[in-house]
Amino acid sequence: MTSQYRVNYHLRSHKRDNLIEFIKGMLLTPFVLHPHDEESKATQEQENANRYAGIFGSIEMLIDEHRELLQAGIPTHSRLAKLVPSIGTFFTRLPLEAAFRHINRTNRISARKHVPPSFNDIRRILNMAQVMAIAPELQLVTFDGDMTLYADGQNFADDSALVALLIGLLRRGINVAIVTAAGYGTDAVRYEQRLSGLLRGFAKEELLPAQVARFYVLGGECNFLFRCRADYRLEFIDDAMYASSSLRSWTDTQVQQLLDVAEAELADCVRRLGINAQILRKPRAVGLVPHEELTREQLDECALSSQMALLRSQGAPKSEPCDVPIPFCAFNGGSDCWVDIGNKLIGVQILQEMIGSPPQATLHVGDQFLSTGNDFSTRAACCTCWIINPHETQGILTELDAILLQS
């Protein structure tokens, strides 16, 4: 009974990625029609690998056609747009066939007899293809914080393998930024505490002033920007020095009125769902912090309820959170639910504008790419990698490091 419920829950639109589901369906055909023969395992595995690779090659061509028609101003005419109507923008080519063969050498997807290529298999292949494509032109890498660089609610550890990998990016002249929902206002010390292991790593490796100056922290999604100084401390950068026109156009009165709506809706969720939780109000955010563990269904309900209330309050119930006069992000944080003014789309765009990094040279790495997650909006601004924990981030950066060493 529980298992069937879980299956049905994952069919909900906010728990699916339509491109990955499309690819998964395409790969299911050879898995079903070409079962393994026990007498020729090696040959059968290679044949399956070739079949899977052929499908990824075909999807690669569909993406190429979609990109061409996007440049021509008619993306809805592409075959991929007709097959996956919600498809977005691809800022680079995706060498999916090469990425599959690379992943298959380690994970042996084609050797499996009982488990077809899964959502996570395809997600990792898409990540690998994106890393392969963007590496030669990479200028800026942005990261989510919790569950991307460190465990949820924890600090960046001194012994994390990610310390050396991020330092390697900075030494190569690549800008690195952490774009996080964590909002401590202009208090640099609070952010330094969360990133203590990484900053101590900078000091231990004696990074040059020009190298650490390429490291940024953007808190509250897009509201509080910091830059690393030569003494390995974070320095707050005033809004007037970087804020886009859309960010500067928000008045504090408008922000507080929107947060009033969000706070009232979260309070209603607490009452309606019988949740034991505290509502926290910050200058540009309001959140529901439970006193006991909540199910993901409860957190999704709070996020989606808040999203609809804020869209209605701005007179745009059928719009997206980034397409309203005051963009916002209402998201399931895994253990809590928050509504932030602004979103990571604006955050990434602010950094791109400061650094001069175009979408095809910018990569965002995060774990919240479902529609109730706060990394989802970045897909409109840059290339992305969807990971599920810091270990996968390490794997992505290790692959990137190997490609950069060869180039």
Could you say which of 37, 64, 121, 146 is catalytic? 146
* 222 exposure class (CB count in 10 Å sphere: 0-12, 13-18, 19+): buried
**Interatomic CA distance for residues 175 and 353, integer angstroms:** 13
Q: H or E stretch including 402? A: helix 390-406
Beta bridge partners of 282: 285
Cβ burial of 389 (10 Å; 0-12, 13-18, 19+) is middle
CA distance linking residue 58 with residue 67, whole number of Å: 14
DSSP label at residue 240: G
Q: What angle do CA 101, 64, 12 make, to 5 degrees?
A: 75
Instruction: Kindly report the number of other CB atoms within 10 A of residue 295's CB atom.
Output: 9
**281 φ/ψ angles, rounded to the nearest 5 degrees:** -110, 130
Q: Which residues have a Cβ under 8 Å from the Cβ of 396 and sit 6 or more positions away? A: 127, 131, 365, 385, 387
Concatenated DSSP letters for 185-231? TT-HHHHHHHTHHHHHHHHHTT--HHHHTTEEEEETTTTEEEEE-TT
Neighbouring residues of 61: CB distance < 8 A, sequence distance ≥ 6: none
361 close to 134: Cβ distance less than 8 angstroms: yes
Say how many C-beta atoms besides its own lie within 10 A of residue 67's C-beta: 19
Contact assessment for residue 314 and residue 302, using Cβ atoms and an 8 Å cutoff:
no
Nearest-angstrom CA–CA distance, 208 and 189: 22
Catalytic option among 17, 144, 336, 340: 144
In the residue annotation, 144 being an active-site residue is answered as: yes
Distance CA 94, CA 64 (A): 8
List, by residue number, the catalytic residues: 144, 146
